Structure 1
């Protein structure tokens, strides 16, 4: 029997760390079955609820996938983003036990394009802030983030260092998110995207177009492009039966 350590780590977190360590070490390759809730209860001397929480969180993070009536298995090594929530990409990557880094390609003020003006409630060709960033998962380019930001809402945006703080983190702090809308579509990578994500010509990609709002109005309009072979979208829904 394996017991949780006495360092103050919650028992469910200790189980998650154990499972992640087995996956990262290669002991449990892709599609390997992981211990069941019952087996984890015996191994770690925990309740069924604790074991279930560990497996559920790893499933929601895209580390595992579950097959009803069969068990939980190691997912393919793609990053997964929750479809119905907005998460910081650095947190997504770190939740997988990986290292996030970012390379700032461009940070500037430019004339507002028509589509962006419409999205942010600005006037065409008036100044809008723009950032272009490549996000890395363990040194592998994962996502190309092109973001337009409303200068009226976030006047100090161009003064930030986005190599150490993501735009999501900064905007959440200075203009707390109250709502968002987004569109998800499959696109073919153009030459510019291929260059920054280091993928082959015309590889299928996922592009998420997202507009975020604070209480005062539209804050940002972003195009988040990821290689389809490295990224996926998913989520978990709790559904209350109709009585």
Structure 2
């Protein structure tokens, strides 16, 4: 599939993320107002408002009524158990797995993702956007970026038949993973794909994987808070 031109609000989000990535907007710094961004980037104020709302919902920005919008400080993190392949979890519960593929494409890596993957912004990367369903109900939205050097055949796979994790682990198992988890409100697009209201809370797991010294994937897993539970086991 070919990449489609980004909507203007996504371009504004990308502009803000680029300024954060290059240090122009530092943690705690006040960013330009909606009117300033709209004038600078040729959009309406409502479009700029949507971009800032979505960046705030994802934890990138903090908005203080009557004061302004600020770059959020880095989040505190805690170690937690490595998560399983969602397809295996659904199968093991005896539920019917179905997979909805919304995008499998080559695109230019966004600056914030490039920073996390240790590569240059705008270099080619593979991207997929996939929803996993249990008994027809969406339980996970997977937004995955994959190194073409690691999985050159990624775009040719039929991911309606098996999960991306199934395929990637058939190439090589990760030798290292880094996971973060946080509670957020979904963006309008995420809510649509997961069949949620924008006010419904979600759990988001961000995962980076390595094979050897190379970062192979960077993925956001968005789970509806009312449909998904994480269970950990601790053996003593």
- What is the TM-score normalised by the length of structure 1? 0.62
2:209 is the counterpart of 1:212: yes
Q: Which residue of 1 aligns with 2:167?
A: 170
**How many Å apart are 1:216 and its aligned residue?**
4.6
**How many Å apart are 1:217 and its aligned residue?**
1.1
Residues in 1 aligned to 2:100 and 2:173: alpha-carbon distance in whole angstroms: 24
How many residue pairs are counted as aligned between the two chains?
Answer: 157
Map Cα deviations across residues 9-67 of structure 1 (whole Å, 9 max, x no partner). Answer: xxxxxxxxxxxxxxxxxxxxxxxxxxxxxxxxxxxxxxxxxxxxxxxxxxxxxxxxxxx
2:93 is the counterpart of 1:96: yes
Secondary structure class of the residue paired with 2:230: strand
Structure 1 segments of 4+ aligned residues over 2 angstroms from their partners: none
**How many Å apart are 1:90 and its aligned residue?**
1.0
Secondary structure class of the residue paired with 2:152: coil
Secondary structure class of the residue paired with 1:231: coil
**How many Å apart are 1:177 and its aligned residue?**
1.2
Residues in 2 aligned to 1:185 and 1:90: alpha-carbon distance in whole angstroms: 21
Residues in 2 aligned to 1:215 and 1:206: alpha-carbon distance in whole angstroms: 29
Secondary structure class of the residue paired with 2:190: helix
Residues in 2 aligned to 1:111 and 1:235: alpha-carbon distance in whole angstroms: 36
Residues in 1 aligned to 2:173 and 2:156: alpha-carbon distance in whole angstroms: 19
Return 5+ residue gaps in structure 1 as ranges: 1-82
Q: Which residue of 1 aligns with 2:112?
A: 115
2:223 is the counterpart of 1:226: yes
Which of residues 126, 129, 133 in structure 1 aligns to 2:126?
129
**What is the correspondence of 1:183-222 to structure 2 with a 5 Å cutoff?**
183-222=180-219
Return 5+ residue gaps in structure 2 as ranges: 1-79
**How many Å apart are 1:85 and its aligned residue?**
2.6
Query: Does the 8 A contact of 1:183 with 1:208 survive in 2?
Result: yes
Secondary structure class of the residue paired with 1:223: strand
Give the structure with higher Rg (CA).
Answer: 1
